[in-house]
Amino acid sequence: MKLNSISPAVGSTHSSKRPGRGIGSGLGKTGGRGHKGQKSRAGGFHKVGFEGGQMPMARRLPKRGFISLSRQFKSEVRLSDLNALPVDAVDLLVLKQAGLVSQLTRSVKVIHAGEISRAIKIEGLLVTKGAKTAIEAAGGTIATVSA
């Protein structure tokens, strides 16, 4: 321990500044709020992004695109990812355990990307046309999902 590293225990000292408690506090009279205006008054706050009545930036700029709220519950898996799995039967639980999809995922679509060289059985997953032909050409089967 060194003398220059000693400090009081947490919570044992009070704040040195006490706004509005007289001239000796260093923050007397206006209490550090300046003079007049909305921010000097009690309750004088406004929402984030408020620009004094001017049209806010978020409303001035054009909006583009669409973000689906269900995006976090849908995932895609490549054929090459399925080829690397050590199991022959693939379903949503297997993909979650392998870390290929998020734990929040509810539906998975297998897309035709990469190669598949062995027969696998797909259960309860959506499959694109190209992926379906590639899986069946490799000797695999697909159990369809009822919509």
Tell me which residue range forms the domain holding 124: 71-143
Q: For residue 146, what pLDDT is reported?
A: 52
For residue 139, pLDDT over 60 is answered with yes
Which CATH number goes with the domain that contains 89?
3.100.10.10
Residue 3, in any domain of the structure: no
Query: pTM for the complete prediction?
Result: 0.57
Residue 25, in any domain of the structure: no
For residue 17, pLDDT over 90 is answered with no
Residue 136, in any domain of the structure: yes
Q: Domain count of the chain?
A: 1
For residue 147, pLDDT over 60 is answered with no
Q: For residue 2, what pLDDT is reported?
A: 92
Q: For residue 124, what pLDDT is reported?
A: 93
Q: Tell me if 98 sits within 8 A of 85, measured CB to CB.
A: yes
Residue 103, in any domain of the structure: yes
Residue 10, in any domain of the structure: no
For residue 145, pLDDT over 80 is answered with no
Residue 59, in any domain of the structure: no
**Burial, 146: exposed, middle or buried (Cβ in 10 Å; 0-12, 13-18, 19+)?**
exposed
Which residue carries 């695999």 as its tokens?
140
List CB contacts of 143: < 8 A, sequence separation 6 or more: 121, 122, 123, 124
Residue 129, in any domain of the structure: yes
Residue 60, in any domain of the structure: no
Instruction: Provide mean pLDDT across the span 21-49.
Output: 89
Identify which has the larger pLDDT, 145 or 98: 98
Q: For residue 98, what pLDDT is reported?
A: 95
Average pLDDT in the chain: 91
For residue 26, pLDDT over 90 is answered with no
Q: What is the pLDDT of residues 63-112, one digit of tens each?
A: 999 999 999 999 999 999 999 999 999 999 999 999 999 999 999 999 99
